[in-house]
Amino acid sequence: MQDRSLRLPDATEIAAITAQHLIATPLRPADLLFVFGTRVEEALRAETACRLWREGYFRHAIVSGGMTSGGDETECAVIKRAMVAGGIPAGLILEEHRATNTGENVIFSLPVLEAALGLANIRSVICLGNTWTSRRYPMTLQRHWPEVEKMLVTVDSFGVPHERWHTHPDLRRRVLAEWDKIDPYKAKGFIAEWP
């Protein structure tokens, strides 16, 4: 069976992915920055969180991410340490250390948020994650926490504009792999339509 993420998409698919998956949302100050864990580009994720903090875009943050194979620290520990080193007060960053996928990021973080802040006190969330995963972050939040307003900030170090994602072989492979998850994940109830 051929790996579908290695295909060369046609113009129609490129346009659909650019419009529907690699979305940008208007950004305004939020109650919470939800930092989704990663095994790549942890420093870029933390730098972006620090920039958002300096610009006044959130009051609290949660970093969610468990152990990765071959690692000796959780994704949460690595990213939070870099966020604190970049100037965000440690006491404002909540931690979730068990999640191994996007669904678990949300499921395991909700009780942490409820205990520390109260979910009813959080009205808006900025999701921060990889460009290639893009709208799947807020779609996962929509499935488990529909009441909250969701915004999205994505990062990567590929150096190509979002509308040119298909011109970079590694970014193209990652985007196509994530795009192909959307319909099956909706069918299984892992994510919900958003926006």
Count, residues in the chain:
195
Report which DSSP code applies to 10: -
Whether the predicted pLDDT of 177 surpasses 80: yes
Using 50, 70 and 90 to split pLDDT, how confident is the model at 39?
Answer: confident
Q: What is the largest CA-CA distance in the chain?
A: 49
**Beta-bridge mates of residue 63:** 35, 95
Please report which confidence band the pLDDT of residue 24 belongs to, taking 50, 70 and 90 as the band edges. confident
Residue 93 has pLDDT above 80, yes or no: yes
Average pLDDT over residues 98-115: 97
Q: Which domains does the chain have, with CATH numbers?
A: 23-152+161-188 (3.40.50.620)
Q: What is the pLDDT of residue 1?
A: 66
Q: Is the dihedral of CA 140, 27, 174, 74 positive or negative?
A: negative
Mean pLDDT of the chain, nearest integer: 95
Q: 47 exposed, middle or buried (CB, 10 Å; 0-12, 13-18, 19+)? A: middle
Whether the per-residue pLDDT at 173 is higher than 70: the answer is: yes
| In the chain, % of residues over pLDDT 70 | 99
Is the whole-model pTM more than 0.85? Answer: yes
The pLDDT value given to residue 4: 87
Beta-carbon count within 10 A of 102 CB: 24
Residue 14 structure tokens: 């490129």
Whether 143 has a pLDDT exceeding 70, the answer reads: yes
